[in-house]
Amino acid sequence: MKLNKVLSVVALSLISLFAACDKIESDNYLVFSGASGEWYDGNGVADKSQRAFLDKFTGIRCVNCPTADEAIHAAMEQYGDKLIAVAIHDSSTFGMPVEGFDLRTEDGNTWRNTLRGSGGLPAALVMRDGDIFTPTSGIQAKVDPILAQSPVVAISVESQLSDRTANIGINLEFLQTCNDNLNLTVFIMEDGIIGQQFQPDGSHKSDYVHNHVLRDVITDVWGAEVDADGQAGTKRFCNIKHTIEQNNWNLSNCKVVAFISNRSTKAILNVAECEL
């Protein structure tokens, strides 16, 4: 009996000590320790796909916008992760709040003022090529040529959320030499926001599900300068640490989108997204 007690104490002690060991998973051997927003040599990008990016300008009071949502949703089903869309709630009359429900942002307004022009809603751009169209149809004709291109630069984004601070890592790999000045833009969008939306029949739907809603551009609104020589084969890495101060976001529904754009024309070269 005494022996059993002794062995039990030894076993429990050993178990508790075994628990005092750290095990690091192989994909976590390295952690970023550089300065936020600085560029470093990187490891490259595993998925070197060309993806398409669609800006959708929309509004809660826009009765035709749900039709555009359906068309964009169908396109996203078709293209999978090769098409990334963001809904920018417009600051025009059609984007005004309804019963306090407001999805407008200051950054979205800045983008809208420069990119949308004076046309009505809904409106869209693919890769910010300057060709505004109504996204209730014709999305495929815009996206297919983009995806058929050989990408100039591959991009990937990863995010680790600790408490309310996100460590966002962006890897770039130049697949072709690019002599243009490039910017990196990173923003957060949220899916599954339930609220008001005017419908094509003129009714008000209070439980409409708004997806990929722009929440915040965490770099400069037009992006941060990419520090890279642009030579084919160049691999660069940038980490951005961002603390989310807004309490009304559902962080588990949020995504991070990062894209590379031409600094002067604002045309997008490639894009990637991940869970926040």
Partner 1 sequence: MLIAALVAFGLTSKAQNVLGGGQVSGNIQLDGQISRADSLIGSENVPEKLLMNARADILYTNGNFSAGLRFEAYQNPMLGFNAAYKGQGIANYFAAYNGEKLGITAGNFYDQFGNGMILRAYEDRYLGLDNSIRGFNVKYRPIEGITLKGVIGQQRVYWDYGQGIVRGLDGEINLNSVIKPFAESKTRITLGAGFVSKYEADETVPSSVPGYKLNIPQNVGAASVRMDLSHGGWGLQAEYARKGQDPNVLNDYIYHEGEALFLSASYSQKGFSANVQAKRVDNMGFKSVRSQSGEMLYINYIPAITKQHTYAFLTLYPYATQNTGEMGLTGDVMYKIKKGTVLGGKYGTDIHFNASWIAALDTTTIGGRGTEGYTATYFGTGDAYYADATVEVAKKFSSKHKLVATYGYVLFNPIVEGHAGDMHHNHVFIADYTWKINKKNVLRLEAELLESDSKYTPEVDDKRCGDWIMGLVEYNFTSNFFACFSDQYCYRDGNGANYPQLSVGYTHNATRLQLGYGKQREGIICIGGVCRQVPASNGLTFSLTHSF
Interface region with partner 1, contact rule CB under 8 A, candidates 7-15, 62-70, 99-107, 186-194: 7-15
Q: How far is the CB of 273 from partner 1 (least distance, A)?
A: 22
**Binders of partner 1 among 233-252, rule CB under 8 A?**
237, 239
- Per-residue tokens: 150: 């050989």
User: Does 46 sit near partner 1 (CB under 8 A)?
Assistant: no
Asked if 223 contacts 263 with a C-beta cutoff of 8 angstroms, the reply is yes
Distance CA 67, CA 215 (A): 22
Question: Judged by CB under 8 A, which of 14, 74, 141, 232 binds partner 1?
Answer: 14
- Per-residue tokens: 160: 């680790």
Q: Which residues contact 171 (CB under 8 A, 6 or more apart)?
A: 42, 43, 44, 45, 155, 156, 157, 235, 236, 237
C-alpha distances in angstroms, 243 versus 36, 110, 166, 196? 12, 22, 6, 28
User: Does 31 sit near partner 1 (CB under 8 A)?
Assistant: yes
**Binders of partner 1 among 132-191, rule CB under 8 A?**
none
User: Does 229 sit near partner 1 (CB under 8 A)?
Assistant: no
- Per-residue tokens: 217: 């551009």
Question: Judged by CB under 8 A, which of 33, 118, 162, 179 binds partner 1?
Answer: 33
User: Does 41 sit near partner 1 (CB under 8 A)?
Assistant: yes
Question: Judged by CB under 8 A, which of 4, 24, 201, 203 binds partner 1?
Answer: 24
Fill in the per-residue mask, 80 to 119: x = in contact with partner 1 (CB under 8 A), - = not in contact.
----------------------------------------
Q: How far is the CB of 165 from partner 1 (least distance, A)?
A: 17
Question: Judged by CB under 8 A, which of 8, 13, 93, 149 binds partner 1?
Answer: 13
Asked if 122 contacts 109 with a C-beta cutoff of 8 angstroms, the reply is no
Residue type, 36: S
Nearer to partner 1, 24 or 46 (CB): 24
Count the site residues for partner 1 by CB under 8 A.
28
List the strands of the sheet with 165-174, edge to edge: 39-41, 235-243, 165-174, 153-162
Q: What is the DSSP letter of 133?
A: B
Question: Judged by CB under 8 A, which of 26, 247, 248, 264 binds partner 1?
Answer: 26
